[in-house]
Chain A
Amino acid sequence: MENQTVFGNWGGSYIPEILHQTFEQLQDEYLKARNDPHFWQEYSDLMSTYSGRPTPLTYAENLTRHFGGAKIYIKREDLNHTGAHKANNVMGQGLLVKRMGKKRVIAETGAGQHGMATATMAAKFGFDCTIYMGEVDVQRQRPNVFWMEKMGATVIPVVDGSRILKDAINEAFRDWVSNVDTTHYVLGTACGPAPFPEMVSWFQSIIGMETEKQIKQQHGKPPARVYACVGGGSNAMGIFQGFLGNSDVELVGVEAGGKGIKSGLHACRLCGSDASPGVAQGYKTMFLQNSDGQMLETHSVAAGLDYVGVSPILADLAEKKRVRFESATDSEVMQALDLTMKMEGIIPALESAHAFVQAFKEAPQLSADEAIIINQSGRGDKDIFTIAHAFDDPSWKKFIIAIAEEYNR
């Protein structure tokens, strides 16, 4: 994967002319960085001293016993600084921003993890920071909004469209065209116009590089299958790149099944048959859209997977049948989360829990001398309100009511 702007039938750069020059500059800096071995060294040093990398690969002994099939390993991106894989991309882009001499960063965020990571990077590198976040997501990921603001970022709730991730991306682009000279848009996933899909995947490849070594050390051979949830596709691209060259390793992307793939309330772009080729948000991929090309509403309990498009690189890998795509429903996700917390003492983000669901379905079919890896893209702390609500937790409710009364006094 060397400096591609188009991936099979997908990708490209469909941008307003006003951004043309800035994309040339970005493309330039990105290529310079890629060809400069010191850059990757600087990046991986930063990730080890600031972000706690390499993150561990954990053998989930109890889950393995429970399912009685393949050995289950979990790649722990939840232990990355800011609690998700998002920081890998953000710190990398932060280093590029320094090289480009820009002083302000903006970002979209769904789950708030990318916004969190961007606010963190901006605080560390001394940039001004504005985060766009759909109003619906501001509500469901409130803890992340709090921390972003505390780190000095301005969080702007987006009230247009479906008020979720895609709308935040549109708003970030509108800011960018207005402030292109001073501002870099830190796109949070492997989507958007080139070079973002490839560049974001490159920074995220640190996950796959680590995992490939770790599984060999711990298990003695490559895994049979690797599972990752797919929103825009950055954590999936990250871990898959450790194994793309080995055709014995099956790669499985898990999309948001929402209320079920037949309900229409989901975000399945590469599994199921509701999506079709389109061009929006600067790139060509499979979009959930109607026959006129208007984007549809998507649904997922996980804000980070609740998106109409998907990485053009994954659209290509799906078409080439290198990656298999499956989906997990909201309710399956809650069960997998519950089980993982109880058996392993690990709290996956709602997004990540989608990958767990599919791995749990398939583990029993594989023999005990095989290993499977689940990419735990993030930690579930941010989801405390959503998860508590889904579990209808009585003591949590009592606590919230008491706090509300205190503030009302």
Chain B
Amino acid sequence: MVKTMILEEKLRAQLQQKDILLMTHIVLGYPSFHVNRQVIAQMVGNGVDCIEMQIPFSEPMADGPVILKANQDSLAAGTTVKQCLEFGAEMTAAHDIPFLFMTYYNIIFKYGEEDFFMAAKAADIQGLIVPDLPPEMSPDFFRFAKTSGIAPILIFAPTSTNSRMDELNTSADGFIYCVARRGVTGAQSEFDGEFDSYLNRCRAATSLPLAVGFGIRDSEDVRAISGRADIAVIGSKTIQLVDTEGVEAVGPFISNLR
């Protein structure tokens, strides 16, 4: 298939200079867009290579307690999809790294798939992660992704068989998000021998860069996957950090990760 390549090329260019890239996750509107703005500035200023911005959803089925609570609090504060799209546009204009949206399928379905892709394109968003949309459920989604040049990021899991990975790869673009373990976001992961053979299976199934997420919390974890994966995803940890130590703690935390 013809890949849009935009996101993948940007990541490959970064990988020329770094052993491993860092992708961080924020929940839009939590604790506020104002704080999101400051956190993103800290992240970019300290070398983050890519940021996924979660548009909150009332039923975040794949998320653990930290991100679940952030989704709920953001919605309780009145966050709308429109605000998230506007904020996305502001960030892509302000910072020269790729930004992605992560959200659940209903947000996109309800907005209208084609309209959502157009809006995301207008905001210069480079990729979309939708954990509850298996490719077989919406061919349209992947058609619009291609025409808009936004990479649909697909997820591999340790439970995915080799043939399933092959099948997912035919719809994927940008990079593959490899979930490190069974479970939801937040809890600890082990990067052991079993993890190695899983990552080898992921590598064999795709030529796209591999991101590893779920349970990456510190420089030790990042080191553990360096050389094996291309991108380390830090999710719940920075959200917790902002909650407990404030925005200022984000910069030093990021710069110490690798």
Contacts and interface: CB of A to CB of B under 8 A. Distances in A.
Given A161-B72, A279-B106, A15 B134 contact: yes
Contact of B184 (A160, A178, A282, A294): A178
B257 interface: no
Contacts of B104: 280
Contact of B110 (A178, A180, A281, A293): A293
A17 B135 CA distance: 10
B200 interface: no
A21 B160 contact: yes
A287 B110 CA distance: 11
A295 interface: yes
Interface string B154-165: 111111110010
A12 B139 CA distance: 13
Contact of A177 (B72, B164, B182): B182
Contacts of B156: 17
Contacts, number: 108
B62 interface: yes
B80 A292 contact: yes
B97 interface: no
Contacts of A279: 105-106, 109, 132
Nearest to A281: B59
Given A161-B58, A177-B62, A294-B57, A17 B109 contact: no
A14 B133 contact: yes
A382 interface: no
Contact of A294 (B75, B133, B134, B158): B75
A21 B179 CA distance: 15
B131 interface: yes
A281 B61 contact: yes
Given A14-B137, A177-B183, A161 B160 contact: no
A279 B133 CA distance: 10
Given A16-B131, A279-B109, A295 B58 contact: yes
B6 interface: no
A278 B157 contact: no
Interface in B134-172: 134, 137, 154-161, 164, 168
Given A17-B155, A20-B134, A293 B62 contact: no
Contacts of B132: 14-16, 279, 282
B59 A280 contact: yes
B61 A293 contact: no
A180 B158 CA distance: 11
A170 B133 CA distance: 16
Contact of B59 (A170, A179, A180, A292): A170
B224 interface: no
B247 to A, nearest CB: 26
A289 B159 contact: no
A284 to B, nearest CB: 8
B111 A12 contact: no
A62 to B, nearest CB: 45
Contacts of A282: 61, 132
B59 A166 contact: yes
Contacts of B80: 292
B81 interface: yes
A124 interface: no
Contact of A293 (B106, B155, B179): B106
Contacts of A287: 106
Interface string A168-183: 0010011001111100
B107 interface: yes
B158 to A, nearest CB: 8
A375 interface: no
A180 B111 contact: no
B209 to A, nearest CB: 18
B64 A179 contact: no
A12 B57 CA distance: 20
Contacts of A276: 110
A279 B134 CA distance: 13
Interface string A104-144: 00000000000000000000000000000000000000000
A13 interface: yes
Given A177-B182, A177-B184, A292-B107, A16 B59 contact: no
A18 interface: yes
Given A20-B164, A279-B109, A293-B57, A180 B131 contact: no
A161 B59 contact: yes
Contacts of B179: 17-18
A281 B134 CA distance: 14
A170 to B, nearest CB: 5
B68 interface: yes
A286 to B, nearest CB: 12
Contacts of B72: 160-161
Which A-B residue pairs are the 9 nearest by beta carbons?
Answer: A293-B110, A178-B183, A18-B157, A293-B106, A294-B58, A295-B58, A17-B155, A21-B159, A17-B157
9 contacts: A18-B159, A18-B179, A20-B134, A178-B182, A280-B104, A281-B61, A289-B110, A292-B110, A292-B111
Interface of B: 57-62, 64, 68-69, 72, 75, 80-81, 104-107, 109-111, 131-134, 137, 154-161, 164, 168, 179, 182-184, 187
Given A14-B134, A177-B182, A295-B58, 11 more contacts: A16-B131, A17-B134, A17-B179, A18-B62, A18-B158, A18-B182, A177-B62, A177-B183, A178-B184, A279-B106, A293-B106
